[in-house]
A and B are shown apart, each in its own frame.
Chain A
């Protein structure tokens, strides 16, 4: 795998839209061609080369290209948007839409990520070493299809709207989360290793939520049906199993009604 290292030389005055920073667009290009790729700051169209200096070499395909981003890119959005392969490592905080609509490859953010992390993601892997804000792996506004595949792991805490309208894939939040986990979900798995304030699984048709800490305000729409042992993230634990949302419409599979599940660690 070839590596392109991009280092910030000029902070944008407002926020920069780095939708061009993907292994797909870097692959097969010379450093000069990469520096010519577009980036928007408000209505102003810049080149990536106006803000970054580039070193190294890109691979022939996206899968053979790794991008390392150095410098404080806290005011830059849309890293790895729609990428299909390869790898991005961001050595600072990043702003919104990291890995949005991503289909493959891997993104690592060494700091925090802002909202809309991995929205409508279809595949690949995102690792956030710090915290994430709201709308992790959720749907774009008005879309009924959120994250459908892949893995998002946040080592810190997250805000609200985790996996809204999710249909597949896995989200792991190792810290605490606020409210609205798997709302409107039709599949997928969310694992919260810390505490959650409430509203887990509201309007959920299908999907699995694993809560390791406290759930402060459980929804009335969930009913306990038993205790199960499950392997989660490589370790086996015992959980109380709740099904719901009983108030939401139900789907059937082979004549059986399918419910969403909440597993509360005992």
Chain B
């Protein structure tokens, strides 16, 4: 008899839906059916039981082919490469469990390198804005039960977070919002006429990259300087700004959801910063919150885990051992890559080769490239060492942080292929090996200097 598993968490987007029903075959090895999930989430589950999985680490040979090696060898090669590198970089963690993020913190504290997560190329500017201006936020449950005005600014949830609107923001019937979408006002601010814009009550088709000016105009309207606003701001007529600002001021409970439209255009953290200022202004007359549309199901996890471990959420430079240093622009992965500031790259729980600018990938590829990933992603395809692991959220259980920073315990539905380790196990064994090799629980002693101008990482493979 196939088993039906209820309330399973979905390892795709920042919605981290935990109401998925999964039907598993009698032997517990194959996923037969997935219900409630969006099409992308379903594919992640269904893909896991398909054949052609890589089940053992592979090492690039001098002739360019990949040779299968044992986990023991792979862990030793990684530990030696970290010791020899002057500034290793470990990047990723959007799609893995918080347990492995904590294990990675131990590896890099011992190894003295840079620890960065996908926020670096996505919502990192939002975190910087939160440093500068605070974060008046709420949980998605409050949105569902209370919100009557929803603003999507620079976000397209229909495609990026397929169940965001149906499960949390617009369509659900909540405690105080029993009429669902009939009583909710939806405002979309986007330069393109996206599918999300098509269902909105108001679509402000802003000029690309002019978000800061429009926020500034909204703040003027909220603070009573309506007459001073220009006739047109960022391509939006003054009359429309005043009409929408009236809706914002009269909301019972409003939420601004913002996406890459703010963090990937000029100004970056300042766009989010002024959005937070607008929310603060609106809170003098009504109740407003703001939330980042985090991309992956656990991309918020590293920010939480490393904040409690080191005091900073991402871009952590741990090379000094005495303290953590964080300054995006200097310690962020793409900047480190473009400036040739690192000499070892470890990709885990993401695909840096697919998501970094191609120039940054070229720079990083000058060094030894390790990829820890269940699939043959682009990063695994070009890797010098590929360590396969179980699929977090499908084969490996663990804690994930949803986009509103609520922790959720994900269960596994099937077991990983025989002998395949989880991210956490691989990282903990690398950390143990670092301790053994350096004879120190506190990282590599300064006396153990790498030779000057030696390409230590290359010999690590031999």
Contacts and interface: CB of A to CB of B under 8 A. Distances in A.
Chain B's interface: helix, strand, loop or mixed, by majority?
loop
Contact of B228 (A50, A203, A246): A246
B230 A45 contact: no
Interface stretch (B164-172, B335-343, B391-399): B335-343
- Point out which of A43, A50, A180, A223 has the most chain B C-beta atoms below 10 A from its C-beta: A43
Interface string A203-231: 10000000000000101110100000000
B281 A43 contact: no
Name the residue in A14, A46, A134 with the highest tally of chain B Cβ atoms < 10 Å from its Cβ.
A14
A56 B343 CA distance: 36
A144 B273 CA distance: 13
A178 B329 CA distance: 16
Q: What's the interface size class on B, roughly?
A: 35 or more
A245 B216 contact: yes
Given A13-B452, A14-B343, A220-B233, A43 B86 contact: yes
B338 to A, nearest CB: 12
Contact of B223 (A13, A43, A178, A247): A247
Interface stretch (B11-19, B192-200, B320-328, B426-434): B320-328
Interface in B186-220: 210, 212-213, 216-217, 219-220
Given A144-B132, A180-B267, A247 B86 contact: no
A116 interface: yes
B326 A13 contact: no
B380 to A, nearest CB: 26
Interface stretch (B138-146, B368-376, B443-451): B443-451
Given A42-B319, A141-B326, A184-B132, A246 B225 contact: yes
A191 to B, nearest CB: 21
B453 interface: yes
Contacts of B340: 14
B277 interface: yes
Contact of B327 (A41, A141, A247, A248): A141
A184 B329 CA distance: 19
A217 B213 contact: yes
Contacts, number: 119
Nearest to A96: B330
A199 interface: yes
Nearest to A184: B132
A183 B128 CA distance: 14
Contact of B131 (A141, A198, A203): A141
Interface in B72-121: 85-87, 112-113
Interface in A103-126: 115-116
A15 interface: yes
A99 interface: no
A30 interface: no
Contact of A199 (B86, B267, B446): B267
A116 B330 contact: yes
Interface residue range, chain A: 35 or more
Given A116-B327, A141-B328, A217-B210, A42 B85 contact: yes
B123 interface: no
A183 B228 CA distance: 20
Given A115-B330, A116-B329, A44 B449 contact: yes
Query: Which of B220, B229, B326 gathers the greatest number of chain A CB atoms within 10 Å?
Result: B220
The 9 closest A-B pairs by CB, nearest first: A247-B219, A42-B87, A142-B131, A42-B86, A43-B112, A43-B319, A220-B217, A45-B446, A221-B216
27 contacts: A14-B87, A14-B342, A14-B343, A15-B339, A40-B320, A42-B85, A42-B343, A43-B87, A44-B446, A44-B449, A44-B450, A45-B446, A50-B452, A96-B330, A116-B330, A141-B132, A141-B327, A142-B128, A179-B266, A199-B267, A202-B270, A217-B213, A220-B216, A220-B229, A221-B217, A247-B225, A248-B277
